Amino acid sequence: MARVSVKIFSVLCGVVGGWASALSFIDSVGSKPADAAGNWRMWDLAAGTASNPYGRAHFLMEGRVPPAQSLFQVYTNSLDDDGDSLSSGCVYKIAANGLESRWWSLSVGPLNSEDSGASAAVTSDEVVRGPDSSLNVAMARFPVAGNWIRPAAEGTLTLQLVVSNTDTESGLKLPSVQRVSC
Amino acid sequence: MRNLYWVIAAAVLAIIVHISMVLFAPGFLFERNLNRMASDVPDNTFFILPGPAQTAIFPEYPGGTVFGLCRFNLTSGPVTLDANLPDGIWTLTVYSRFGRTLYTVTDEQSGVDKFSLQLAMAPSIFDVFSLKEDENEIEASGWKVLSSDERGFAVFWVPALDRAMREGLSETLSKSSCGKATS
B146 CB burial (10 A radius; 0-12, 13-18, 19+): middle
| pLDDT of the residue at A92 | 92
d(CA A27, CA A42): 11
Whether the per-residue pLDDT at B147 is higher than 90: the answer is: no
B17 has a chain A CB within 8 A of its CB: yes
Nearest to A56 by CA among B22, B20, B105: B22
Residue A139 phi, psi (nearest 5): -120, 115
Query: A2: part of which helix (H) or strand (E)?
Result: helix A2-28
d(CA B159, CA B153): 19
A60/B30 touch (CB, cutoff 8 Å), yes or no: yes
A103/B7 touch (CB, cutoff 8 Å), yes or no: no
Higher-confidence position of B67 and B2: B67
d(CA A175, CA A105): 12
Query: B115: part of which helix (H) or strand (E)?
Result: strand B114-121
A103 has a chain B CB within 8 A of its CB: yes
A121-123 β-sheet, strand order? A31-33, A41-43, A72-77, A158-164, A104-109, A121-123
B 51-80 residues with CB below 8 A of A?
Answer: 52, 55-62
B 106-165 residues with CB below 8 A of A?
Answer: 106, 108, 155, 159-162
Higher-confidence position of A2 and B95: B95
A109 has a chain B CB within 8 A of its CB: yes
| pLDDT of the residue at B76 | 87
∠ CA A44-A47-A50, nearest 5°, is 70
B27/A23 touch (CB, cutoff 8 Å), yes or no: no
Residue A121's SS3 state is strand
d(CA B11, CA B15): 6
A20 has a chain B CB within 8 A of its CB: no
Q: Are B134 and B118 in contact (CB under 8 A)?
A: no
| pLDDT of the residue at B16 | 93
Q: Which residues contact B182 (CB under 8 A, 6 or more apart)?
A: B80
Name residues of chain A where pLDDT drops below 50.
Answer: none
Higher-confidence position of B97 and A161: A161
Q: For a pLDDT cut of 70, what percent of chain B falls above it?
A: 89
Q: Which residues contact A52 (CB under 8 A, 6 or more apart)?
A: A29, A30, A44, A45, A46
pLDDT one-digit tens code per residue, A144-161: 888 888 888 788 888 989
Weakest mean pLDDT among A107-111, B125-129, B158-162: B125-129
Residues of B with Cβ-Cβ distance to A60 under 8 angstroms: 26-27, 29-30, 98-99
Give me the mean pLDDT over the B6-26 stretch.
89
Whether the per-residue pLDDT at B138 is higher than 50: the answer is: no
d(CA B91, CA A71): 8
Q: Which member of A45, A60, A105 has the closest CB to residue B60?
A: A105
ipTM for the predicted complex: 0.78
d(CA A13, CA A124): 48
A54 has a chain B CB within 8 A of its CB: yes
d(CA B117, CA B124): 21
pLDDT one-digit tens code per residue, A71-92: 888 899 988 888 889 988 889 9
A127 has a chain B CB within 8 A of its CB: no
The pTM score is: 0.82
Q: Which residues contact A4 (CB under 8 A, 6 or more apart)?
A: none
| pLDDT of the residue at A6 | 78
pLDDT one-digit tens code per residue, B18-48: 999 888 888 888 888 777 777 778 888 898 8
d(CA A28, CA A47): 19
**Average pLDDT of chain B to the nearest whole number:** 81
